[in-house]
Structure 1
Amino acid sequence: MTSDAGVRLECEGPVATVTLCRPDVLNAQTPAMWRALHDFSRDLPGDVRVVVVRGEGRSFSAGLDLSVVRGAGEGSIAGLTALSPAECADRIAEFQAGFTWLHRPDIISVAAVQGHAIGAGFQLALACDLRVLAEDARLSMAEVTLGLVPDLAGTKRLVELVGYARALEICATGRRLDAAEAQRMGLATVVVPAAELTAAVADLTAALLAGPRDAVVEIKALLAGATGRTHAEQQRAEREAQTRRLRDLAGIGE
């Protein structure tokens, strides 16, 4: 399935691949692409367990299409400022939905990042659970250079991965991180030569699919909620999850 907006969805068994396919503009993003991404989330077959997000060509995504920012459409500064504050916030919430579905508890999402991952591109990579970076990857939260803030659901994930102080420095300066620095910070699951990116993602996907789906779903839920729980609450969540798994394995119903 290919959207006119420049995004493609391909499903093969338990793996879905979402591809940004505007390589002529380094997969620069538009609100139409975000809407297509959200629509894809509703089209996923029920047996999909892993979603791979990639960019066609030499870059993952160079960020927000500047023709949108400078124009008069729904994602432009002019278009958003013409709305009331509540309407503006609601519109941005619609944009965020193109990213946040990748947090779904029933899937594991993997970003395959080569070349630029700037602004919205960086936030799309952050929306995924795991990130495989090519050695030529360059990441930047560049919204500050336009006088804007990151608003596509990337700030919480960034703080969770690198801590408040480092996240502040990355966002407030807009500087670029190379793949090696991103790996040291914990932003990259693995870094590989560009020629090996596809194979590395395939290997990771195979490893994720090797475990029983229900166990993996429980594990993701445990880890995703850990930072918001106390030690006692996390231990209780572990006990409850393990009880469900034991009963399921024993064929005992509710």
Structure 2
Amino acid sequence: MTLLDTDGVRLTVDDAIATVTLTNPAKRNAQTPALWRALIEAGRLLPGTVRVVVLRGEGRSFSAGLDRQAFTPEGFEGEPSFVDMGRGPEAELDATIAAYQEAFTWWRRNDIVSIAAVQGHAIGAGFQLALACDLRICADDAQFAMRETSLGLVPDLAGTHPLVSLVGYARALEICATGRFVHAEEAERTGLANLVVPAAELDATARDLAAALLAAPRDAVIETKALLRGASDRTFDEQRAAERAAQGRRLRDLAELAE
């Protein structure tokens, strides 16, 4: 069932699995503010039955990053250009970037597990979109790069936190400051990718992983994801307390079902 198909984004739902597809392969799924709004809408349209969301891109590249038109003086029609944004009031600039970031934040909701299936290029905003997901499966031709600093900018689409969490501060700084490519083998070795497979097997592997994630009871997965997401912000004793509270909720629920 197709729930959305607009501005380079298509959302389809098959029972408990949703698929969000970037649908502009001619431009290597370059990103625009309109695409970001479509991604936000996709998150809002997810039915409550959905437990797993697969994010993929049509064509040879997952997403080659921000559409270069954003860097022209005129920008996109109906959108503030980067020049206009930089000249505007600080509060307005902050609000505009915050609105863009919403497209990259809902993927980590506790009630879903999100999987990015990455092939070809994932550059800049494309890299950050892959980082927005809980898990990443990569084709063996995948190449990640954070090119913002070479343009005099910073990664601002919620990608820095997951990148540091995955590969550590020193490697994250080196990747971002140099803008170099991280190939699939390194991505898997450093924890950026969960799995690397031949390109022809990427979609099937994503489907298999989605099916495996559905095997456990939903509430147990939700509680476990919440525990793991919050672990780095808690002390050891705080995490122990969170585990006890979560297990207490699970045991009470199971006891009710047994009555």
In the alignment, structure 1 residue 118 sits paired with structure 2 residue 139: no
Q: What's the counterpart of residue 247 of structure 2?
A: 242
1:103 partner letter: R
Matched-pair contact (CA < 8 Å) for 2:4–2:42: no
Q: Deviations over 1:70-93 (max 9, x none)?
A: 233436312311321111011000
- How many angstroms does 1:241 deviate by? 0.4
Q: Partners in 2 of 1:249 and 1:89 — Cα distance?
A: 46
- How many angstroms does 1:68 deviate by? 2.0
Q: Deviations over 1:140-175 (max 9, x none)?
A: 011112111000000000000011111000111110
2:247 partner letter: Q
Identity %: 63
Q: Which residue among 38, 41, 59 is the counterpart of 1:39?
A: 41
Q: What's the counterpart of residue 9 of structure 1?
A: 11
Secondary structure of the residue that 2:49 maps to in structure 1? coil
Q: What's the counterpart of residue 25 of structure 1?
A: 27
- Structure 1 gaps of 5+ residues are none
- How many angstroms does 1:135 deviate by? 0.1
Q: What's the counterpart of residue 191 of structure 1?
A: 196
- How many angstroms does 1:192 deviate by? 0.2
In the alignment, structure 1 residue 216 sits paired with structure 2 residue 221: yes
TM-score scaled by length of structure 2? 0.95
Q: Deviations over 1:204-254 (max 9, x none)?
A: 1011000000000000000000000000000000000000000000117xx
Q: Partners in 2 of 1:196 and 1:68 — Cα distance?
A: 34
Q: Partners in 1 of 2:138 and 2:192 — Cα distance?
A: 9
2:136 partner letter: R
In the alignment, structure 1 residue 48 sits paired with structure 2 residue 53: no
Q: What's the counterpart of residue 229 of structure 1?
A: 234
Instruction: Summarize the alignment of residues 96-135 of structure 1 with structure 2, pairs less than 5 Å apart.
Output: 96-135=101-140
- How many angstroms does 1:103 deviate by? 1.3
Q: Partners in 1 of 2:84 and 2:192 — Cα distance?
A: 33
Q: Which residue among 72, 75, 90 is the counterpart of 1:72?
A: 75
CA separation of 1:32 and 1:135: change in aligned 2, threshold 3 A: same
Instruction: Summarize the alignment of residues 127-166 of structure 1 with structure 2, pairs less than 5 Å apart.
Output: 127-166=132-171
Q: Partners in 2 of 1:90 and 1:7 — Cα distance?
A: 23
2:166 partner letter: L
Matched-pair contact (CA < 8 Å) for 1:115–1:137: yes
Q: Partners in 2 of 1:135 and 1:105 — Cα distance?
A: 29
Q: Partners in 2 of 1:223 and 1:69 — Cα distance?
A: 38
- How many angstroms does 1:5 deviate by? 1.1
In the alignment, structure 1 residue 177 sits paired with structure 2 residue 182: yes
Q: Deviations over 1:79-111 (max 9, x none)?
A: 311321111011000000011011111100000
Secondary structure of the residue that 1:46 maps to in structure 2? coil
- How many angstroms does 1:195 deviate by? 0.6
Q: Which residue among 83, 88, 92 is the counterpart of 1:83?
A: 88
Secondary structure of the residue that 1:232 maps to in structure 2? helix
Q: Partners in 2 of 1:60 and 1:21 — Cα distance?
A: 10
Secondary structure of the residue that 1:52 maps to in structure 2? strand
Q: Partners in 2 of 1:58 and 1:249 — Cα distance?
A: 46
2:153 partner letter: L
Secondary structure of the residue that 1:251 maps to in structure 2? helix
TM-score scaled by length of structure 1? 0.97
